[in-house]
A and B are shown apart, each in its own frame.
Chain A
Amino acid sequence: MTIRPEDLRYCKSHEWAYAPADSGGIATIGISAFAVAELNDLVFMALPLLGQTISAGDEFGEVESVKAVSPMYSPVSGEIVDVNTELVDRLESLNSDPYDQGWIIRIKMSDPTELTKLLDYSAYQKLLSQNG
Protein backbone atom coordinates (compact mmCIF):
# COMPACT_ATOMS: atom_id res chain seq x y z
CA MET A 1 0.00 0.00 0.00
CA THR A 2 1.25 3.44 -0.87
CA ILE A 3 -0.53 6.30 0.77
CA ARG A 4 -0.24 9.58 -1.09
CA PRO A 5 -1.11 12.91 0.58
CA GLU A 6 -3.42 13.74 -2.36
CA ASP A 7 -5.64 10.76 -1.52
CA LEU A 8 -6.25 11.69 2.11
CA ARG A 9 -8.93 13.48 4.08
CA TYR A 10 -7.77 15.93 6.74
CA CYS A 11 -8.88 17.45 10.03
CA LYS A 12 -8.22 21.12 10.73
CA SER A 13 -6.10 19.81 13.63
CA HIS A 14 -3.77 18.18 11.04
CA GLU A 15 -4.67 14.49 11.37
CA TRP A 16 -5.34 12.60 8.16
CA ALA A 17 -7.60 9.63 7.35
CA TYR A 18 -7.23 7.19 4.46
CA ALA A 19 -10.10 4.88 3.57
CA PRO A 20 -10.18 3.79 -0.08
CA ALA A 21 -13.19 1.87 -1.42
CA ASP A 22 -11.46 -1.51 -0.89
CA SER A 23 -10.50 -0.84 2.74
CA GLY A 24 -13.50 -2.67 4.16
CA GLY A 25 -14.58 0.32 6.22
CA ILE A 26 -11.22 0.59 7.95
CA ALA A 27 -9.64 4.04 8.05
CA THR A 28 -5.89 4.50 8.49
CA ILE A 29 -5.04 7.56 10.60
CA GLY A 30 -1.91 9.69 10.90
CA ILE A 31 -0.65 13.26 11.22
CA SER A 32 0.29 15.48 8.29
CA ALA A 33 3.76 16.49 7.09
CA PHE A 34 2.86 20.03 8.13
CA ALA A 35 2.14 18.89 11.71
CA VAL A 36 5.41 16.95 11.88
CA ALA A 37 7.38 19.96 10.60
CA GLU A 38 5.64 22.32 13.01
CA LEU A 39 6.27 20.11 16.03
CA ASN A 40 9.90 19.45 15.07
CA ASP A 41 12.22 17.29 17.19
CA LEU A 42 9.66 14.63 18.18
CA VAL A 43 10.59 12.75 21.36
CA PHE A 44 7.52 10.77 22.37
CA MET A 45 4.20 9.45 21.15
CA ALA A 46 1.45 8.07 23.40
CA LEU A 47 -0.74 5.55 21.57
CA PRO A 48 -4.20 4.20 22.44
CA LEU A 49 -5.07 0.60 23.27
CA LEU A 50 -6.41 -1.85 20.71
CA GLY A 51 -10.13 -2.43 20.89
CA GLN A 52 -10.90 0.97 22.31
CA THR A 53 -13.97 2.70 20.86
CA ILE A 54 -13.68 6.38 20.11
CA SER A 55 -15.76 9.13 18.53
CA ALA A 56 -14.70 11.60 15.87
CA GLY A 57 -12.98 14.52 17.57
CA ASP A 58 -11.87 12.44 20.59
CA GLU A 59 -8.25 12.52 21.62
CA PHE A 60 -6.65 9.17 20.73
CA GLY A 61 -3.09 9.93 21.76
CA GLU A 62 -0.48 12.63 22.03
CA VAL A 63 2.73 13.52 20.33
CA GLU A 64 5.45 15.33 22.20
CA SER A 65 8.32 17.37 20.84
CA VAL A 66 11.01 19.31 22.66
CA LYS A 67 8.79 22.36 22.15
CA ALA A 68 5.40 21.12 23.35
CA VAL A 69 2.86 18.33 23.78
CA SER A 70 0.09 18.09 21.22
CA PRO A 71 -3.02 15.92 21.45
CA MET A 72 -4.02 13.91 18.37
CA TYR A 73 -7.75 13.82 17.56
CA SER A 74 -9.55 11.06 15.73
CA PRO A 75 -11.02 12.12 12.38
CA VAL A 76 -13.66 9.35 12.54
CA SER A 77 -15.66 7.25 15.01
CA GLY A 78 -15.24 3.52 15.55
CA GLU A 79 -13.11 0.82 17.10
CA ILE A 80 -9.32 0.94 17.11
CA VAL A 81 -8.29 -2.27 15.32
CA ASP A 82 -4.59 -1.65 14.75
CA VAL A 83 -1.88 0.48 16.36
CA ASN A 84 1.54 1.20 14.81
CA THR A 85 3.56 0.45 17.95
CA GLU A 86 6.80 0.30 15.92
CA LEU A 87 6.50 3.99 15.19
CA VAL A 88 7.28 4.96 18.78
CA ASP A 89 10.86 3.73 18.37
CA ARG A 90 11.47 5.56 15.11
CA LEU A 91 9.58 8.84 15.50
CA GLU A 92 12.22 10.63 13.44
CA SER A 93 11.04 8.60 10.43
CA LEU A 94 7.88 10.74 10.46
CA ASN A 95 10.01 13.59 9.13
CA SER A 96 10.64 11.77 5.86
CA ASP A 97 7.46 9.68 5.72
CA PRO A 98 4.45 10.84 7.73
CA TYR A 99 2.01 8.98 5.45
CA ASP A 100 2.93 5.49 4.29
CA GLN A 101 5.02 3.95 7.09
CA GLY A 102 4.03 6.82 9.37
CA TRP A 103 0.44 5.72 9.95
CA ILE A 104 -0.52 5.74 13.64
CA ILE A 105 -3.78 3.80 14.13
CA ARG A 106 -6.48 2.02 12.12
CA ILE A 107 -10.16 2.41 12.97
CA LYS A 108 -13.09 0.19 11.99
CA MET A 109 -15.48 3.01 11.18
CA SER A 110 -18.96 3.02 12.69
CA ASP A 111 -20.07 5.82 10.35
CA PRO A 112 -18.04 6.11 7.11
CA THR A 113 -20.05 9.18 6.07
CA GLU A 114 -18.01 11.12 8.62
CA LEU A 115 -15.19 11.09 6.05
CA THR A 116 -17.13 13.49 3.88
CA LYS A 117 -17.06 16.08 6.66
CA LEU A 118 -13.25 16.18 6.53
CA LEU A 119 -11.19 18.44 4.30
CA ASP A 120 -9.96 17.08 0.97
CA TYR A 121 -6.36 17.68 -0.12
CA SER A 122 -6.95 21.00 -1.86
CA ALA A 123 -9.08 22.36 1.00
CA TYR A 124 -6.36 21.33 3.47
CA GLN A 125 -3.64 23.00 1.36
CA LYS A 126 -5.77 26.12 1.34
CA LEU A 127 -6.06 26.00 5.13
CA LEU A 128 -2.27 25.72 5.44
CA SER A 129 -1.66 28.64 3.10
CA GLN A 130 -4.11 30.77 5.09
CA ASN A 131 -2.40 29.93 8.37
CA GLY A 132 1.09 30.23 6.94
Chain B
Amino acid sequence: MAPFAGYEMPIQYKGIVAEHTATRTALGLFDISHMGRLRFDGPRADQLLDHLLTRRVLDMQPGQVRYSLVCNEEGGILDDVLVSCLESPSSKIYFLLVVNASNKDKIVSWLQPHLADFPDVEFHDVTAATAMIAVQGPKAVEACQKLLPASSLQLGYYKAKVTEQMSKPCIVSRTGYTGEDGFELIVRAEDAPRVWENILLSGRDAGAQPVGLGARDTLRLEAGMPLYGHELSEQIDPYTAGLSFACSLKDRQFIGSSFLANRAKESLPVKRVGLSIEGRRAAREESKCFDHDQREIGVVTSGTFSPTLGRPISMAYIHSDLARTGSQIEVDIRGSRAAATIVDLPFYKRP
Protein backbone atom coordinates (compact mmCIF):
# COMPACT_ATOMS: atom_id res chain seq x y z
CA MET B 1 0.00 0.00 0.00
CA ALA B 2 1.17 3.51 -0.68
CA PRO B 3 -0.25 6.93 0.14
CA PHE B 4 -1.56 8.67 -2.99
CA ALA B 5 -3.48 11.96 -3.06
CA GLY B 6 -4.83 11.34 0.44
CA TYR B 7 -5.79 7.71 -0.23
CA GLU B 8 -4.07 4.49 0.76
CA MET B 9 -3.65 2.83 -2.62
CA PRO B 10 -2.43 -0.67 -3.46
CA ILE B 11 0.61 -0.64 -5.77
CA GLN B 12 -0.02 -4.29 -6.50
CA TYR B 13 -2.25 -7.15 -5.40
CA LYS B 14 -0.67 -10.22 -7.02
CA GLY B 15 2.20 -8.62 -8.91
CA ILE B 16 2.38 -5.95 -11.60
CA VAL B 17 3.02 -8.33 -14.50
CA ALA B 18 0.28 -10.78 -13.47
CA GLU B 19 -2.23 -7.93 -13.12
CA HIS B 20 -1.14 -6.31 -16.36
CA THR B 21 -1.41 -9.57 -18.29
CA ALA B 22 -4.83 -10.35 -16.79
CA THR B 23 -6.10 -6.97 -18.04
CA ARG B 24 -4.70 -7.55 -21.55
CA THR B 25 -5.96 -11.12 -21.86
CA ALA B 26 -9.04 -11.33 -19.60
CA LEU B 27 -10.14 -8.55 -17.27
CA GLY B 28 -8.76 -6.34 -14.56
CA LEU B 29 -10.69 -4.61 -11.82
CA PHE B 30 -9.45 -1.21 -10.65
CA ASP B 31 -10.55 0.73 -7.60
CA ILE B 32 -10.21 4.27 -8.92
CA SER B 33 -12.31 5.95 -6.25
CA HIS B 34 -9.46 8.40 -5.66
CA MET B 35 -10.29 10.15 -8.96
CA GLY B 36 -12.21 13.40 -8.33
CA ARG B 37 -15.89 13.44 -9.34
CA LEU B 38 -17.47 16.87 -9.73
CA ARG B 39 -21.14 17.34 -10.60
CA PHE B 40 -22.69 20.39 -12.26
CA ASP B 41 -26.44 20.92 -12.39
CA GLY B 42 -28.52 23.69 -13.87
CA PRO B 43 -29.45 24.94 -17.34
CA ARG B 44 -26.18 26.87 -17.74
CA ALA B 45 -23.85 24.10 -16.53
CA ASP B 46 -22.84 23.47 -20.15
CA GLN B 47 -21.90 27.15 -20.60
CA LEU B 48 -19.76 27.16 -17.47
CA LEU B 49 -17.90 24.04 -18.55
CA ASP B 50 -17.58 25.26 -22.12
CA HIS B 51 -15.76 28.29 -20.71
CA LEU B 52 -13.42 26.12 -18.60
CA LEU B 53 -12.64 23.24 -20.95
CA THR B 54 -10.56 23.14 -24.14
CA ARG B 55 -13.12 20.81 -25.71
CA ARG B 56 -16.55 21.99 -26.85
CA VAL B 57 -19.26 21.19 -24.30
CA LEU B 58 -22.25 23.21 -25.64
CA ASP B 59 -23.11 20.63 -28.29
CA MET B 60 -22.84 17.61 -25.98
CA GLN B 61 -25.87 15.33 -25.93
CA PRO B 62 -26.92 13.20 -22.97
CA GLY B 63 -24.83 10.04 -23.01
CA GLN B 64 -21.71 11.62 -24.51
CA VAL B 65 -18.29 11.59 -22.88
CA ARG B 66 -15.34 13.70 -24.01
CA TYR B 67 -11.68 13.82 -23.05
CA SER B 68 -10.67 17.42 -22.42
CA LEU B 69 -8.11 19.61 -20.77
CA VAL B 70 -8.42 22.45 -18.29
CA CYS B 71 -5.90 25.14 -19.17
CA ASN B 72 -4.88 28.46 -17.68
CA GLU B 73 -4.81 31.67 -19.78
CA GLU B 74 -1.25 30.82 -20.87
CA GLY B 75 -2.32 27.45 -22.23
CA GLY B 76 -0.64 25.54 -19.38
CA ILE B 77 -2.46 22.31 -18.57
CA LEU B 78 -4.10 22.39 -15.12
CA ASP B 79 -5.58 18.93 -15.56
CA ASP B 80 -6.84 16.40 -18.07
CA VAL B 81 -10.43 15.36 -17.48
CA LEU B 82 -13.38 13.39 -18.76
CA VAL B 83 -16.58 15.38 -19.09
CA SER B 84 -19.87 13.47 -19.35
CA CYS B 85 -23.32 14.75 -20.18
CA LEU B 86 -25.81 12.59 -18.30
CA GLU B 87 -29.55 12.26 -17.94
CA SER B 88 -30.87 11.31 -14.52
CA PRO B 89 -33.80 8.85 -14.11
CA SER B 90 -35.99 11.94 -13.50
CA SER B 91 -34.89 13.26 -16.92
CA LYS B 92 -32.62 15.95 -15.51
CA ILE B 93 -29.58 16.77 -17.63
CA TYR B 94 -26.35 17.31 -15.71
CA PHE B 95 -22.60 17.19 -16.26
CA LEU B 96 -19.95 15.15 -14.52
CA LEU B 97 -16.28 16.03 -14.56
CA VAL B 98 -13.79 13.31 -13.59
CA VAL B 99 -10.48 14.88 -12.61
CA ASN B 100 -7.14 13.56 -11.40
CA ALA B 101 -6.97 12.88 -7.67
CA SER B 102 -3.80 14.91 -7.29
CA ASN B 103 -5.40 17.92 -9.04
CA LYS B 104 -8.86 17.85 -7.49
CA ASP B 105 -8.29 20.55 -4.87
CA LYS B 106 -6.59 22.77 -7.44
CA ILE B 107 -9.47 22.37 -9.89
CA VAL B 108 -12.11 23.00 -7.22
CA SER B 109 -10.31 26.26 -6.30
CA TRP B 110 -9.95 27.16 -10.00
CA LEU B 111 -13.72 26.74 -10.38
CA GLN B 112 -14.70 29.10 -7.59
CA PRO B 113 -14.53 32.51 -9.34
CA HIS B 114 -16.26 31.04 -12.40
CA LEU B 115 -19.00 29.49 -10.30
CA ALA B 116 -19.61 33.00 -8.94
CA ASP B 117 -20.22 34.14 -12.54
CA PHE B 118 -22.80 31.36 -12.96
CA PRO B 119 -24.84 31.58 -9.74
CA ASP B 120 -27.55 29.38 -11.20
CA VAL B 121 -25.13 26.45 -11.65
CA GLU B 122 -25.15 24.03 -8.75
CA PHE B 123 -21.77 22.49 -8.07
CA HIS B 124 -21.20 19.41 -5.92
CA ASP B 125 -17.99 17.56 -5.21
CA VAL B 126 -19.39 14.02 -5.08
CA THR B 127 -16.01 12.29 -4.75
CA ALA B 128 -16.47 11.16 -1.14
CA ALA B 129 -20.10 10.12 -1.56
CA THR B 130 -19.32 7.89 -4.52
CA ALA B 131 -16.79 5.26 -5.56
CA MET B 132 -15.40 4.45 -8.98
CA ILE B 133 -14.50 1.03 -10.32
CA ALA B 134 -12.97 0.31 -13.72
CA VAL B 135 -13.51 -3.06 -15.39
CA GLN B 136 -11.06 -3.35 -18.28
CA GLY B 137 -10.03 -6.06 -20.67
CA PRO B 138 -11.32 -8.21 -23.55
CA LYS B 139 -13.66 -10.07 -21.18
CA ALA B 140 -14.88 -6.98 -19.31
CA VAL B 141 -18.22 -6.74 -21.11
CA GLU B 142 -18.85 -10.46 -20.78
CA ALA B 143 -18.16 -10.32 -17.04
CA CYS B 144 -20.67 -7.50 -16.62
CA GLN B 145 -23.35 -9.37 -18.60
CA LYS B 146 -25.26 -10.53 -15.55
CA LEU B 147 -24.70 -7.35 -13.59
CA LEU B 148 -25.75 -4.52 -15.87
CA PRO B 149 -28.84 -3.90 -18.00
CA ALA B 150 -28.47 -4.71 -21.69
CA SER B 151 -28.68 -1.03 -22.66
CA SER B 152 -25.50 -0.36 -20.64
CA LEU B 153 -23.68 -3.30 -22.14
CA GLN B 154 -24.40 -1.94 -25.62
CA LEU B 155 -22.99 1.52 -24.92
CA GLY B 156 -20.60 2.74 -27.61
CA TYR B 157 -17.05 3.88 -26.91
CA TYR B 158 -17.02 7.19 -24.98
CA LYS B 159 -20.70 6.89 -24.17
CA ALA B 160 -22.17 6.87 -20.68
CA LYS B 161 -25.49 6.22 -19.01
CA VAL B 162 -27.12 6.53 -15.62
CA THR B 163 -28.45 3.09 -14.85
CA GLU B 164 -28.75 0.57 -12.05
CA GLN B 165 -26.68 -2.26 -10.71
CA MET B 166 -28.87 -4.59 -8.62
CA SER B 167 -31.45 -1.82 -8.15
CA LYS B 168 -28.84 0.67 -6.96
CA PRO B 169 -27.90 3.78 -8.97
CA CYS B 170 -24.82 3.40 -11.12
CA ILE B 171 -23.20 5.47 -13.87
CA VAL B 172 -21.75 3.26 -16.57
CA SER B 173 -19.20 4.74 -18.95
CA ARG B 174 -17.50 2.93 -21.86
CA THR B 175 -14.15 4.52 -21.11
CA GLY B 176 -10.86 3.53 -19.55
CA TYR B 177 -7.17 4.14 -19.09
CA THR B 178 -5.67 0.85 -20.21
CA GLY B 179 -6.03 0.64 -23.99
CA GLU B 180 -8.61 -2.14 -23.54
CA ASP B 181 -12.36 -2.23 -23.94
CA GLY B 182 -14.34 -1.92 -20.74
CA PHE B 183 -16.36 0.19 -18.39
CA GLU B 184 -15.84 2.72 -15.66
CA LEU B 185 -18.59 2.53 -13.04
CA ILE B 186 -19.54 5.19 -10.52
CA VAL B 187 -21.65 3.94 -7.64
CA ARG B 188 -22.63 5.19 -4.20
CA ALA B 189 -19.74 4.73 -1.78
CA GLU B 190 -21.76 2.37 0.43
CA ASP B 191 -22.57 0.12 -2.56
CA ALA B 192 -18.97 -0.09 -3.77
CA PRO B 193 -17.75 -3.19 -1.87
CA ARG B 194 -20.80 -5.16 -3.08
CA VAL B 195 -20.36 -4.06 -6.71
CA TRP B 196 -16.63 -4.89 -6.53
CA GLU B 197 -17.38 -8.37 -5.13
CA ASN B 198 -20.10 -8.97 -7.71
CA ILE B 199 -17.80 -8.22 -10.63
CA LEU B 200 -14.96 -10.28 -9.17
CA LEU B 201 -17.35 -13.18 -8.72
CA SER B 202 -19.00 -13.00 -12.13
CA GLY B 203 -15.60 -12.56 -13.80
CA ARG B 204 -13.89 -15.27 -11.81
CA ASP B 205 -14.10 -17.97 -14.47
CA ALA B 206 -12.89 -15.50 -17.08
CA GLY B 207 -9.79 -14.71 -14.95
CA ALA B 208 -10.79 -11.46 -13.23
CA GLN B 209 -7.92 -9.91 -11.30
CA PRO B 210 -7.82 -6.84 -9.02
CA VAL B 211 -5.22 -4.40 -10.38
CA GLY B 212 -3.16 -1.86 -8.42
CA LEU B 213 -1.53 1.44 -9.32
CA GLY B 214 1.63 -0.28 -10.61
CA ALA B 215 -0.09 -2.06 -13.50
CA ARG B 216 -2.43 0.90 -14.04
CA ASP B 217 0.73 2.81 -14.95
CA THR B 218 2.27 0.11 -17.19
CA LEU B 219 -1.07 -0.37 -19.00
CA ARG B 220 -1.61 3.34 -19.73
CA LEU B 221 2.02 3.72 -20.76
CA GLU B 222 1.74 0.91 -23.34
CA ALA B 223 -1.47 2.55 -24.56
CA GLY B 224 0.47 5.82 -25.04
CA MET B 225 -1.79 7.73 -22.68
CA PRO B 226 -0.30 10.74 -20.89
CA LEU B 227 -0.34 11.00 -17.09
CA TYR B 228 -0.62 14.31 -15.29
CA GLY B 229 2.57 15.14 -13.40
CA HIS B 230 4.62 13.23 -15.99
CA GLU B 231 3.66 14.08 -19.58
CA LEU B 232 1.30 16.87 -18.55
CA SER B 233 1.87 19.91 -16.34
CA GLU B 234 1.22 23.64 -16.18
CA GLN B 235 4.47 24.08 -18.15
CA ILE B 236 3.11 22.04 -21.07
CA ASP B 237 0.36 23.12 -23.47
CA PRO B 238 -2.01 20.68 -25.23
CA TYR B 239 -0.31 21.05 -28.64
CA THR B 240 3.13 20.23 -27.25
CA ALA B 241 1.58 17.25 -25.47
CA GLY B 242 0.17 16.01 -28.79
CA LEU B 243 -3.39 16.53 -27.60
CA SER B 244 -4.62 18.92 -30.30
CA PHE B 245 -7.69 16.66 -30.71
CA ALA B 246 -8.80 17.81 -27.25
CA CYS B 247 -8.86 21.48 -28.31
CA SER B 248 -11.90 22.73 -30.22
CA LEU B 249 -10.91 26.24 -31.25
CA LYS B 250 -13.43 26.93 -33.98
CA ASP B 251 -16.11 29.53 -33.17
CA ARG B 252 -15.62 29.50 -29.44
CA GLN B 253 -13.73 31.17 -26.65
CA PHE B 254 -12.59 29.55 -23.43
CA ILE B 255 -9.85 30.07 -20.86
CA GLY B 256 -6.58 29.81 -22.77
CA SER B 257 -8.20 29.86 -26.23
CA SER B 258 -6.33 32.91 -27.56
CA PHE B 259 -2.99 31.44 -26.50
CA LEU B 260 -3.90 28.05 -27.97
CA ALA B 261 -5.12 29.60 -31.25
CA ASN B 262 -1.62 31.02 -31.75
CA ARG B 263 0.03 27.83 -30.55
CA ALA B 264 -1.91 25.83 -33.14
CA LYS B 265 -0.19 27.85 -35.92
CA GLU B 266 3.34 27.77 -34.51
CA SER B 267 5.97 25.12 -34.89
CA LEU B 268 6.46 23.40 -31.56
CA PRO B 269 9.86 23.27 -29.83
CA VAL B 270 9.40 19.73 -28.50
CA LYS B 271 7.20 16.77 -29.28
CA ARG B 272 5.90 13.86 -27.20
CA VAL B 273 7.17 10.59 -28.63
CA GLY B 274 7.58 6.95 -27.74
CA LEU B 275 10.99 5.37 -27.22
CA SER B 276 11.79 1.72 -27.69
CA ILE B 277 14.91 1.00 -25.63
CA GLU B 278 17.56 -1.66 -26.28
CA GLY B 279 18.37 -4.10 -23.49
CA ARG B 280 16.45 -4.81 -20.32
CA ARG B 281 16.82 -1.59 -18.33
CA ALA B 282 13.97 0.87 -18.32
CA ALA B 283 14.70 4.55 -18.96
CA ARG B 284 12.53 6.11 -16.29
CA GLU B 285 11.37 9.67 -15.65
CA GLU B 286 14.07 12.36 -16.03
CA SER B 287 16.45 10.16 -18.04
CA LYS B 288 18.14 12.47 -20.55
CA CYS B 289 18.13 11.80 -24.31
CA PHE B 290 21.07 12.50 -26.66
CA ASP B 291 21.74 12.42 -30.36
CA HIS B 292 24.87 10.74 -31.78
CA ASP B 293 26.81 14.01 -31.45
CA GLN B 294 26.08 13.88 -27.71
CA ARG B 295 23.80 16.89 -27.84
CA GLU B 296 21.00 16.73 -25.28
CA ILE B 297 17.78 16.52 -27.29
CA GLY B 298 15.12 15.68 -24.75
CA VAL B 299 14.00 14.05 -21.55
CA VAL B 300 12.00 10.97 -20.56
CA THR B 301 8.71 11.63 -18.75
CA SER B 302 7.64 8.02 -18.02
CA GLY B 303 9.29 4.67 -18.55
CA THR B 304 8.91 1.07 -17.58
CA PHE B 305 9.57 -2.46 -18.70
CA SER B 306 6.60 -3.28 -20.93
CA PRO B 307 5.07 -6.59 -19.82
CA THR B 308 3.22 -7.03 -23.14
CA LEU B 309 6.17 -6.26 -25.40
CA GLY B 310 8.86 -7.75 -23.17
CA ARG B 311 11.19 -4.76 -23.55
CA PRO B 312 11.64 -1.32 -21.99
CA ILE B 313 9.50 1.55 -23.28
CA SER B 314 9.41 5.25 -22.45
CA MET B 315 7.59 8.40 -23.35
CA ALA B 316 9.76 11.47 -23.84
CA TYR B 317 9.72 15.07 -25.01
CA ILE B 318 12.23 15.39 -27.86
CA HIS B 319 13.23 18.48 -29.91
CA SER B 320 10.68 18.59 -32.71
CA ASP B 321 13.15 18.66 -35.61
CA LEU B 322 14.78 15.47 -34.28
CA ALA B 323 11.59 13.70 -33.23
CA ARG B 324 11.28 11.59 -36.36
CA THR B 325 9.85 8.09 -36.19
CA GLY B 326 12.64 5.57 -36.64
CA SER B 327 15.43 7.92 -35.53
CA GLN B 328 18.14 6.31 -33.42
CA ILE B 329 19.06 8.15 -30.25
CA GLU B 330 20.74 7.42 -26.91
CA VAL B 331 19.24 7.54 -23.45
CA ASP B 332 21.19 7.95 -20.25
CA ILE B 333 20.05 5.30 -17.78
CA ARG B 334 21.61 6.13 -14.43
CA GLY B 335 25.04 6.82 -15.86
CA SER B 336 25.21 4.41 -18.79
CA ARG B 337 23.92 4.89 -22.30
CA ALA B 338 21.32 2.73 -24.00
CA ALA B 339 20.37 2.83 -27.67
CA ALA B 340 16.78 3.86 -28.31
CA THR B 341 14.53 4.26 -31.33
CA ILE B 342 11.82 6.89 -31.64
CA VAL B 343 8.53 5.11 -32.29
CA ASP B 344 4.94 6.16 -32.85
CA LEU B 345 2.49 6.05 -29.95
CA PRO B 346 0.76 3.96 -28.79
CA PHE B 347 3.14 1.08 -28.12
CA TYR B 348 0.19 -1.27 -27.86
CA LYS B 349 -3.12 -1.30 -29.71
CA ARG B 350 -5.72 -3.88 -28.84
CA PRO B 351 -6.27 -6.46 -31.56
Contacts and interface: CB of A to CB of B under 8 A. Distances in A.
A79 interface: no
Chain B: interface secondary structure? Answer: loop
B15 A64 contact: no
A44 B12 CA distance: 19
Contacts of B16: 40-41, 65-67
A28 to B, nearest CB: 25
Contacts of A40: 12, 15-17
A41 B304 CA distance: 12
Interface in B295-351: 304-305, 307, 334
A64 B12 contact: no
Interface in B158-215: 214
Q: How large is the interface on B (under 10, 10 to 19, 20 to 34, 35 or more residues)?
A: 10 to 19
B85 interface: no
B2 to A, nearest CB: 11
Contacts of A46: 281
Interface residues of A, number: 11
B230 interface: no
Interface string B252-291: 0000000000000000000000000001111010000000
A62 to B, nearest CB: 7
Interface of B: 11-12, 15-17, 20, 214, 218, 279-282, 284, 304-305, 307, 334
10 smallest A-B Cβ distances: which pairs? Answer: A44-B280, A41-B17, A43-B305, A40-B15, A66-B16, A66-B305, A44-B281, A43-B280, A67-B214, A41-B16
Given A40-B15, A64-B281, A66-B20, 7 more contacts: A40-B17, A43-B280, A43-B305, A44-B305, A66-B214, A66-B305, A69-B334
